[in-house]
Each structure stands twice: as structure tokens, then as C-alpha cells.
Chains A and B, each alone.
Chain A
Amino acid sequence: MVQVTTEPVMEKEVGPWKEGWRRFRKNKIALVGAAIVAFVVFLALFGPFIAPQGVNEQDLTKRLLPPSGEHWLGTDDFGRDIFSRIILGARISIAVGFFSVIISIVVGTFLGVVAGYYGGWLDTIISRIFDILLAFPSILLAIAIVSILGPSLQNALIAIAIINIPNFGRLVRSKVLSIKQEEYIMAAKAIGMKNNRILWRHILPNSMTPVIVQGTLAIATAIIEAAALGFLGLGAQIPTPEWGKMLADARIYLLNAPWTIVFPGLAIMITVLGFNLMGDGLRDALDPKMKN
């Protein structure tokens, strides 16, 4: 008779996600990033209730006023309150960043999984399309797409989504390729599992961590790209309080009313910084191997 001993394991039942959250909580810088993101998202959701003035409340007697008690961040060339416009602009930047990245992730993951798992000529075609898309500087490609579709915020969102697809596609493809070789996939086949089940229950969940990390960082990039398109007049149109557009409209007053350009710029910078810090923290927490 065999005596097999089992010593009770001391740890509590922790899944890989909980484990990651525990590591994330310890990372102070990442928490600062998460706090910034939470704050901007809060502004995006409740902006209209917070902003002291509406987006388009013009008062031409109060043009280009410096920051004061009444107008915390000053006024622009139409006498509009910059503080209010920045708060209301949060919604646009967050929406563009978030939705464009969601589209990129969904499309990119699908293409990446198909290319990585099934391989063959499908992989060749999909990978070459990614290569072609990545051969263009991304902002140039976005400009080209917007000029085809016509300048508007919605088309800018679509363009940003398209240019980010190959990043996610390649990421997922490489991850699927490496997970395909893992022994637990061989084990899944040996058990008698169908391809679909292996793909959706074993390969996909194990390839999602880098996608989540990359997604957070991509929101930051998408916000910058949206602002750039807005600045070039290809994104949000007058009078939408989009931060990039605000920068563009303010640049002629750079010398005599610098607050018109400094504060929207700071808003972009702080938001992007928040997403980047949070993304770095997520990477360290969820995928410690990726750090080095």
C-alpha cells in the first residue's frame, strides 16, 4: 500500500488575476496613474454637472482673460471658459481613446488568432496586410484614412482604430504561436478536445494579458493621435471642445494669451501620463516576464 502524503498549501486560493491585482496594489506609481485615469474618466462621465459654464457660452467682452477667480484657467478668443471646455473635452478624448482601442482589440485579436492558430496561407495574407499597414508612419496613415472618409470626430476614431489593428494583431499572433507549443495544449488535444474549445478556452485566455497591457498604453497613444488629428483640422470640428482642436485654435495667441494653449496641452499630457503609468503598472503586475 502506498502512502501518499499531502501537506496543506499555505496560500489562499488565488487566481492569476487576483495575484496580479495584489502586485498592482503595491506599485505606488501605477496607483497614481490609475487615480489620474479614474479622475479623467469621472470628468468624462459627469463633466456637464461639474463644469461651471457650458461649452459654447461666449462672452466677447471677456476675450482672452488670464486665469482668475472667476475663470480659473482663463478664457479663449471667444470669451469661453477654458476650465469648462477642458472638463467637457475629457469626454471626447476618453471616448475616442477607449472605443478606438476596443475596435482595434476586437479586430486585431480575431485576425491574430486566426493567423496564429490556423497558420498556412491565411497567416501569410493576414501578416502581409499587417506589414503593409505598419510600413506607413501611423499618423500619416490616419491622415490618409480621414481624408478618404472626410474630416470628423467619428472618422478620426475609425482611422485611429484601423492604424492600431496590426499592433494588436501581431501581438496576439505571436502569443498564440508560443502558447500553441505549450504542453497543456498538447494535453488538451490528447484529452480529445475540439479545436474550437482549445482555441477559445485555452489559447485565447492565456494570450490576453499582453493585450490588456498594450490596450491601456494604446489608449494613451490614441488620445494623442486624436488630438493630433484635431489639431490638423481632421478630427473634431468647431465648436467641439476637443483638446487638440483647442490647441490648434489657440496657437495664434501663444504669445499674448499663453493660458489658452498651456492648459489644453497640460490636460492631454496628464491624461496620457496617467494611462502610461497605469499601463506600465499593469504590465509589471500581470506579466512580470515582459518587464525585461
Chain B
Amino acid sequence: MSDVLLQVDGLKKYFPIKKGIFAREVGQVKAVDDISFHVYEGETLGIVGESGCGKSTTGRMLMRLIEPTEGQVMFNGKNLTSLSAEEMRQARRDIQMVFQDPYASLNPRHTVAQILEEPLIVHQIGTKAERRKKVIELLQIVGLSEYHANRYPHQFSGGQRQRIGIARALMTNPKLIIADEPVSALDVSIQAQVLNLMQKLQQELKLTYIFIAHDLGVVRHISDRVGVMYLGKMVELATSESLYEEPLHPYTQALLAAVPVPDPDFVKETKVLQGDIPSPSNPPSGCTFHTRCPFAKDACRELVPALQEVRPGHSVACHLYDDAVTMI
């Protein structure tokens, strides 16, 4: 197996809840609560979960756009969490991000050429002529042309803008790209186009992706391994095949059962989850999923299950598989 590019250990983000004129802290929202995983060089790790499960916060903490409350992020042998602000700023050259909303992530007052050139300017790469050349090169890579360089973002369609966003992320030749729901704001017909482009770029430029999404179908299409998040915790992490063929965690099972099947005659055994996601400011004791889990037993209400490898390459945080762990 290839080398580990990114190693995340015990990452946490607690947002304080403040009240009153003196901003007294009355509680905490545990947006991300102690998650650990690693990403191999050249692979795509998908992270899925409902909205509010902390997947975007995780992505932003990896780049320290949001400061982690606790935990460690090792990237390429460097501990990102211990860098100074200026060192972190420079380290961002190697980790870039693609954002969810292609309408909001481009400055409306800058032309495409200005938007794409800016990463090179801030990292002081190349002369003006070289930068211009690189801008045009990347426009062509993402399927646009020099012809588009002097246009403004509002003159492009959603799919085109997202390709500009991808081109911007690629300007500094990063090793890792964190894509935060890059296609969820796009039409389905455009989604495939952008996903295929991302896959093509991965092969050609040897990129590593962390792909955050709430759409299981999209994640399956692009990911080598998939992590499932629920209420700030990673509940299951497995290779794409293994996860979709045989989901172990009851939450993952329910999520997969909810994916629509394009066959009108298909009658599926309904496994609709009851109730809402509990509030992350007051999460349930033990396993946070026990309030909605059809298989919950006593242990689930008291003990927090740890993420354990129950089959080779397939980890799950669930008490149902406690025995399986000891068997390995």
C-alpha cells in the first residue's frame, strides 16, 4: 500500500455557546468529536453524513480555516496543528480546497484570470508572463480556454464556475485537494461532468482527494475509501466496495437503504430512520446513534463505541460487532 499523506488523530472542534451580555459560556456544540483517520497518497477518501454531522468542519480544520479545539493533523510528515499562522499560510500551497457553492466562492469583481493568478501571486511563484501562461494552461486543462480569461464569474454557468474553482485549487500544484461538496450545488447532468474531470485530473496530476458529500451515489462513484460521519463522530470507515456491498453500522445501512433506486417496480424493505438527529450541544450518552438505532441494547446507552477494525480494511464504531473484534 502507498504512503500515508495525511494522518488525523483525535481531532475535535467544540464551539462554545455564549449567552448574556458578558458572553458567559453555557455549553458546547460538539461539531467534531474525536475523529481519527488517515489518507493514502493518490487515493480519494469520501466523507459522507447528513447536514450538521461535522463533515465540512472537519474539512476546514484540516486546513486550519477553523482552528481545532484538540487533536493533531500530520501532513506529509509535518504537524500542521503546531505551525505558526504564517507557516500555515505557506503550507496551504500544498493543500487546496474546492468549495460547495460555485456562485459564492469566486469574487464577483475579479476576472477569471485575476482569480486564477492570485494563488501564484500570494505564494510568489513565477514572473508575470509565466503566471499568465499557467493560467491559460489550467483553463485549458479544465475545459475552458484563453477566450474566457477576461470574463467575470457571473458570465459563466454553475458547472463552468465550478471548473474555475477547481482550476484555482490546482494553480499551486497541491498534493491534497479537499473538496467540500463540490457538486451538490450543480445540476445532475453537470455533476457527472465535473466528477469525471476531477477523476481525470487525479490520474494525470497524481492528486489525493478528500471528498466531502452528502450524496452516497456521488461518493461511491469517486471514492476509494469512504468514512461515514454521524453527530461529529466517524461511525464507519471502509473501502468503497466493502461499505456499499456490506454496510456494518446500522446508520450506514439506513443511509444506503434511503438511496433511491431507478426502478419503479422495485419494492424495497423500508428501513426509514425514526426521529431527528439529536442536538450536538446535548448529544445522547453512550453511542450517539442509540436513540434512532433499531438494534440498540443496554451497552449502547452507556458505553461509547470505539472505531475498530472488524474486517481487514473495514472499521466500524458499533457495539454489535464487539465480538468480531476479538475474533480477528
Chain A residues with CB below 8 A from B99, complex form: 183, 186-187
Chain A residues with CB below 8 A from B168, complex form: 187, 191
Interface residues of A in 161-194 (CB under 8 A from B): 182-184, 186-194
Min CB distance A290 to B, Å, is 15
Nearest CB in chain A to that of B152: its residue:
A15
Interface residues of B in 233-266 (CB under 8 A from A): none
**Complex Cα spacing A6 to B197, Å:** 13
Contact B151 A9 (CB under 8 A): yes
Contact A184 B197 (CB under 8 A): no
Q: Is A135 an interface residue (CB 8 A)?
A: no
Contact B65 A9 (CB under 8 A): no
Contact B155 A183 (CB under 8 A): no
Q: Is A2 an interface residue (CB 8 A)?
A: yes
Contact A16 B104 (CB under 8 A): no
Contact A187 B144 (CB under 8 A): no
Q: Is A63 an interface residue (CB 8 A)?
A: no
Stretch in B69-77, B117-125, B306-314, B319-327 touching the partner? B117-125
Contact A189 B65 (CB under 8 A): yes
Chain A residues with CB below 8 A from B118, complex form: 188, 191, 193
List the count of A-B residue pairs having beta carbons below 8 Å apart: 92
**Complex Cα spacing A179 to B96, Å:** 21
Contact B96 A206 (CB under 8 A): no
**Complex Cα spacing A206 to B110, Å:** 10
Chain A residues with CB below 8 A from B97, complex form: 187, 190
- Known contacts A11-B155, A187-B97; A4/B105 CB under 8 A: no
Min CB distance A179 to B, Å, is 10
Min CB distance B113 to A, Å, is 11
Stretch in B28-36, B87-95, B130-138, B267-275 touching the partner? B87-95
**Complex Cα spacing A188 to B119, Å:** 8
Q: Is B63 an interface residue (CB 8 A)?
A: yes
Min CB distance B326 to A, Å, is 43
Residue from B108, B163, B199 within 8 A of A206 (CB atoms): B108
Q: Is B107 an interface residue (CB 8 A)?
A: yes
- Known contacts A9-B151, A190-B65, A191-B92; A2/B122 CB under 8 A: no
How many B residues, CB 8 Å from partner? 46
- Known contacts A2-B200, A4-B197; A187/B142 CB under 8 A: no
Contact A197 B65 (CB under 8 A): no
Q: Is B279 an interface residue (CB 8 A)?
A: no
Residue from A5, A16, A194 within 8 A of B89 (CB atoms): A194
**Complex Cα spacing A9 to B151, Å:** 10
Against B, the Cβ 8 Å flags (1 = close, 0 = not) of A107-147 are 00000000000000000000000000000000000000000
Contact A2 B196 (CB under 8 A): yes
Residue from A2, A6, A11 within 8 A of B145 (CB atoms): A6
- Pick from A4, A6, A192 the residue with the most CB of B within 10 Å: A192
**Complex Cα spacing A202 to B114, Å:** 12
Against B, the Cβ 8 Å flags (1 = close, 0 = not) of A1-37 are 1101110110101111000000000000000000000
Q: Is A69 an interface residue (CB 8 A)?
A: no
Chain B residues with CB below 8 A from A184, complex form: 104-108
Contact A192 B93 (CB under 8 A): yes
Instruction: Give 19 A-B contacts (CB < 8 Å), ordered by A residue.
Output: A4-B142, A4-B143, A6-B160, A13-B151, A183-B99, A183-B101, A183-B104, A184-B105, A184-B106, A184-B108, A187-B165, A188-B118, A190-B65, A190-B92, A191-B122, A191-B172, A192-B172, A194-B89, A205-B109
Given contacts A188-B107, A192-B119, 11 further A-B contacts (CB under 8 A): A4-B163, A9-B151, A13-B151, A14-B152, A15-B111, A183-B101, A183-B104, A186-B99, A190-B97, A193-B89, A202-B107
5 smallest CB-CB distances across A and B, nearest first, come from A4-B143, A192-B92, A183-B104, A190-B97, A183-B105
Interface residue ranges, B against A (CB under 8 Å): 60, 63, 65, 89-93, 96-97, 99-101, 104-109, 111, 118-119, 122-123, 142-145, 147-148, 150-152, 154-156, 160, 163, 165, 168, 172, 193, 196-197, 199-200
